[in-house]
A and B are shown apart, each in its own frame.
Chain A
Amino acid sequence: MTRMSRRARRRVFAGVGVAAVLVAAGACSSDSDSGSGSGSDDSAKVSGTVTVFAAASLQESFTALGKTFEKRYPGTKVTFNFGGSDSLAAGITGGAPADVFASASPKTMKTVTDAKDAAGTPSTFVRNRLEIAALPGNPDKISSLKDLTKSGLKVVLCAKTVPCGAAAQTALEASGLKLTPVSYEQDVKSALTKVELKEADAAVVYRTDVKAAGDKVEGVEFPESAKAVNDYPIVQLKNAENAAGAKAFIALVKSAEGQKVMSASGFLSP
């Protein structure tokens, strides 16, 4: 019990650390958000630190977008807190100050909107699809979801409680397949890791994770994934210290340029 509470606490602490930086940096910039409702492209108003809480699967693409943002608005800094959507949402509802929340599922976003911590309505900015991650060279000749049910094959899935597991479950149900994995992993990255280390033969993960893993795994698309597409909502938070920065960052993510970065990582447009 102590171990996991320590883990959860560490995540919250990470958020608090980010918050401390934000408070220090935001003190001089928070006065700029008074008239931010009208002009969205007024770069003169965007300054200071923007704190973004984002799902772990967004790490690669958002890090790239953060650099673009800092270049476009000189003097700004984007600080990320990547983690499981659930724990991020828990951090936000628990009072961890952040400007933007980008979640991997509408369900986790709903925790934040239900707690009235969001400013405005969340909007879907990308969608993610599942893919099978097989060993390099696909030695087990996996070509469909059904192939995963072959006996002797070690398959890992995400736990049903996390978004990737829920999506996998939907896809399996849609195809009427019954799959017994060797493990229900606690998040998508650890499911992928088991294949990267060759401990498992295959995992059902997001397309973006397969892409990020490079040639350590081989991606196999399957048609049922179309029935289990995950929406990624993004929203500005009510307690945002840097509302102008939050607006500008969300605008960048949803812009044509931002969408190009997202699709290069394997995300689908909404």
Chain B
Amino acid sequence: MPGGRRTRVPLPGGRRTGAPLPLLLPALVGLLFLLLPLLALLLRAPWRDLPDQLTSAQVWQALRLSLLSATAATAVSLVLGVPLAWLLARTEFPGRGLLRALVTLPLVLPPVVGGVALLLALGRNGVVGQWLDEWFGVTLPFTTTGVVLAEAFVAMPFLVISVEGTLRAADPRYEEAAATLGASRFTAFRRVTLPLIAPGVLAGAVLAWARALGEFGATITFAGNFPGRTQTMPLAVYLALQNDPAAAIALSLVLLAVSIAVLAGLRDRWLTAS
């Protein structure tokens, strides 16, 4: 966390050290506003009971499922999202702007709405789901696959946006050069473009993974809540809050720690690169 920087206020370039008061005050209030809730979580944490809370079988079950499903959702996002980003960045077709806007829709859509939409599309009685059930006997709600799909739905746009931005910034002349040397378009993508945009893909993947890990609304709406199968950490936190706030705080701490670890991991590769 960048909390320790509050007092020094370093400026890029280091030309002026004193920030004007009308900027400094709201900035500090803003910083406090963002950090205070997290600080409160640390202050009110039941540190003494923490080992017991965190070694309970249900916590590990939820954490394991969270890590597993977020990773699977990221894999789905990579496989589908990178080609989608390429399509949006490198080709011209009518309605591309609209398509780009639609892809980003899950970013602003309330996740619960996303969950309802997923139910209506892929549920047992859904537009596509009823055929999955009839032809293959596959039902997605209440399954771990359902969790992965809900998370991927919410997280994939983060990856697509990140990769698309990197693609636009990358020089297309490398690909053209590869094409003049006889490479097919797909080979050029695989051997030239992909290594070129690797940092962007990685950053997008980490972002998508973190978003998937924190996903709540779409998951509980589409996949339900069953320990070990669909109960991820955020769901466990929410339900623990109903009757055991101490357990909820303990679970929240774990998610906070994981999130900080993700950001710390991103710092070198992503934050400073951009």
Give residues in A with beta carbon < 8 Å to B. 1-5, 7-8, 84, 86, 154, 156, 159, 161-162, 181-186, 190, 194, 197-200
Contact = CB atoms under 8 A, between A and B. Distances in A.
Contacts, number: 78
B123 A1 contact: no
Nearest to A166: B243
A199 B239 contact: no
B224 A161 contact: no
A186 B225 contact: yes
Contacts of B239: 159, 161, 184, 186
A1 B225 contact: no
A197 B123 contact: yes
Contact of B237 (A4, A181, A185, A197): A4
Interface stretch (B194-202, B213-221, B265-273): B213-221
B119 A161 contact: no
A156 B225 CA distance: 9
A183 B237 contact: no
Contacts of B230: 183
B158 interface: no
Nearest to A184: B225
B226 A161 contact: no
A127 B159 CA distance: 51
Contacts of B124: 198-199
Given A4-B238, A156-B224, A198-B124, 12 more contacts: A1-B234, A1-B237, A2-B214, A3-B216, A4-B241, A159-B239, A183-B142, A183-B224, A184-B224, A184-B227, A185-B224, A200-B142
A159 B142 contact: no
Contacts of A4: 216, 234, 237-238, 241
Interface string B202-223: 0000000000001111001101
B111 A159 contact: no
A86 B242 contact: yes
A159 B234 contact: no
B220 A181 contact: no
B193 interface: no
Interface string B117-153: 0011001110000000000000001100000000000
A186 B142 contact: no
A161 B242 CA distance: 6
Contacts of B142: 154, 182-183, 199-200
21 contacts: A1-B256, A2-B214, A4-B237, A5-B37, A7-B238, A8-B241, A86-B242, A159-B239, A159-B242, A161-B239, A182-B226, A183-B142, A184-B225, A184-B226, A184-B231, A185-B225, A186-B238, A186-B242, A197-B119, A199-B119, A199-B125
